[in-house]
Amino acid sequence: MTQMQRASFPAANAVMVRNPFDGSVVGEVAESDATEIAAAVRRAKVAQWQFRRSTPAQRRAMLNALAAEIAADAENMARIISSEMGKTIREARNETRRAQNTLRLSGDAATFLDGEALHCAIVEGGADRLATITYEPVGVVGAITPFNYPLNLLCHKLGPAIAAGNAVVAKPSPKAPLAAARLRELALKAGWPEDIFQIVHGGAEAALSLVRAPIDLLSFTGGPAAGLALKNASGLVRCLMELGGNDPLFVLPDADLDRAVATAIGHRFEIAGQSCAAVKKLYLHQAIEKEFTERLLAAVGAVEFGDPSRDDTDMGPVIDEAAAGQVEDRINATIAAGARLLHGGTREKTLFAPTVISGVEPGAPLIAEETFGPVIAIRSFSDSAEAIAEVNSGAYGLQAGVFTNDHALIKMFSRDLVVGGVMINEGPDFRAEHVPFGGVKRSGLGREGVRIALREMSEPKVVID
């Protein structure tokens, strides 16, 4: 526990943070109670009222300074991420790099939060009136983040919020809170005002306490059940929610099969399949299904899984044994329903072998629900319209990937898939930090991505004279 954490919450209970790979204790944070969380929000309101008149140039300088501190601390931060949530050290280094990009892009976007001027002559008596529309900060943003990207997902909330002139009170997942705590230390080191960015810790009760405090906007990433509970508890507070996905990857007959295989593996086995937009189900056209599956199995067999701290490890563990048990149960239920296990299917505590299952029916657990684990579930299809309809019938709509160079098929999939994003010759887990990211249906409300999040975290004001 850092001195900062001890000073902030001296009477709170300790939350022990364990390495998912070996169970060792890697740190602890102090759990925040409702009184402490409300006090943090009050301090944030005072700080934000002073900060709201800062200039875009000042905000950009703040965000660039924090990005520079992360760069200087990059290896330490990567080790924190890897040890607290089991991400391989290579994946953790990449997340640290992306977090710097997110903050710098947020700083750049702060200088382009443009308003507009509209003449009012369209209405009677408005001939000499001009409406000026500007964007002002919403106030205090409550940011609740999951365990799978403990640094970059927080930066996706923090960067646009600060760029817009807001304060942030963040609650990271109790399973992986250490990177967030370190980020605040780096923000103070970068010269940020002490109360403009604060961290509170805890589980579901802390999350409810935060949304019941007088925040002005809630930005939440997590599951739909938790999201709905928080939305209901927050009253009329504006909510931005990314609630996960059950994302497909379609491979058509003309696809580059080797590239599609590499993408399927990279977008499913990254962080052991614990990504909201990971390839949850693989739709293979019957014309290439046999050849693709053979290439896929050969590549899966080469995936090195084990100790995430090693540079040569491709895939680490899932977050805890409860999560591993859920994945195992879904695999067993899917096989019991008639699917064929082609590779893997075994685990040792939190460490799963990369798994491939074919002949999976639409109602099987691995297809019907979002599964956070390293399992590729294969569906076969011959009619693209029917495959699209099957995906659209599901409850989620985050992103989809399509491998084809057929222009007509690209237009068809892009037009007809009911999702927030369609990636062509790429997997559904592709994301650029400045591009809108989010979904429809149970996948969420609003969008992340630096440029659009900056507007989401701002209030338009109209002045007519």
DSSP 271-308: GGG--TTSEEEEEEETTTHHHHHHHHHHHHTT--BS-T
Q: Considering only CA atoms, which of 60, 73, 201, 64 is closest in space to residue 144? A: 201
Q: Which two tokens stand for residue 153?
A: 């997902």
Of residues 129 and 97, which shows the higher confidence score?
97
Residue 24 has pLDDT above 80, yes or no: yes
pLDDT at 441: 96
Average pLDDT along the chain: 95
> Residues, the chain, total?
465
Burial class (CB in 10 A: 0-12, 13-18, 19+), 446: middle
Catalytic residue among 242, 328, 370, 448: 242
> How far is 150 from 173, CA to CA, in rounded Å?
8
CA distances from 339 to 283, 332, 335, 342 (A): 15, 9, 5, 9
Catalytic residue among 276, 289, 328, 370: 276
Beta strand pairing call for 421-424 and 399-403: parallel
**Is residue 370 within 8 Å of 396, Cβ to Cβ?**
yes
Burial class (CB in 10 A: 0-12, 13-18, 19+), 367: buried
**Is residue 131 within 8 Å of 120, Cβ to Cβ?**
yes
| Tens-place pLDDT, residues 223-237 | 999 999 999 999 999
pLDDT at 460: 94
pLDDT at 6: 35
Q: Which two tokens stand for residue 459?
A: 């209030």
Active site residue 120: no
Q: Considering only CA atoms, which of 71, 60, 45 is closest in space to residue 162? A: 60
pLDDT at 3: 33
Segment 386-396 shows an average pLDDT of 97
Q: Which two tokens stand for residue 127?
A: 């001939």
| Tens-place pLDDT, residues 151-186 | 999 999 999 999 999 999 999 999 999 999 999 999
* Letter string b/e over residues 110-120, b meaning 16 or more CB atoms within 10 A of that residue's CB: beebeeeeeee
> How far is 425 from 428, CA to CA, in rounded Å?
10
pLDDT at 113: 85
The percent of residues above 90 in pLDDT, for the chain, comes to 92
pLDDT at 80: 98
| Tens-place pLDDT, residues 256-265 | 999 999 999 9
Q: Is 437 helix (H, G, I), strand (E, B) or coil?
A: strand
Residue 303 has pLDDT above 80, yes or no: yes
Segment 30-43 shows an average pLDDT of 97
Segment 431-454 shows an average pLDDT of 95
Segment 77-95 shows an average pLDDT of 98
The separation between the first and the last C-alpha atoms of the chain, rounded to the nearest angstrom, is 55
Residue 89 has pLDDT above 50, yes or no: yes
pLDDT at 423: 98
Q: Which residues contact 341 (CB under 8 A, 6 or more apart)?
A: 331, 335, 355, 356, 357
> Which residue type does 9 have?
F
Active site residue 155: no
Residue 300 has pLDDT above 90, yes or no: yes
Q: Count Cα neighbours of 262 within 13 Å in the Cβ-side half-sphere.
A: 7
pLDDT at 2: 37
> How far is 53 from 330, CA to CA, in rounded Å?
52
Other CB atoms within a 10 A radius of the CB of residue 420 amount to 22
pLDDT at 39: 98
Other CB atoms within a 10 A radius of the CB of residue 72 amount to 12
Give the confidence band of 122 by pLDDT, cuts at 50, 70, 90: confident
Give the confidence band of 8 by pLDDT, cuts at 50, 70, 90: very low
pLDDT at 128: 85
Give the confidence band of 331 by pLDDT, cuts at 50, 70, 90: very high
Of residues 20 and 111, which shows the higher confidence score?
20
pLDDT at 7: 37
pLDDT at 9: 40
Report, in angstroms and rounded to the nearest whole number, the Rg of the chain calculated over CA atoms: 23
Q: Provide the whole-model pTM.
A: 0.94
- Range of lowest pLDDT (19-28, 111-120, 305-314): 111-120
Alpha helices, DSSP H, located in 111-236: 152-163, 178-189, 204-212, 224-234
pLDDT at 121: 87
Place of tokens 């008639």: 338
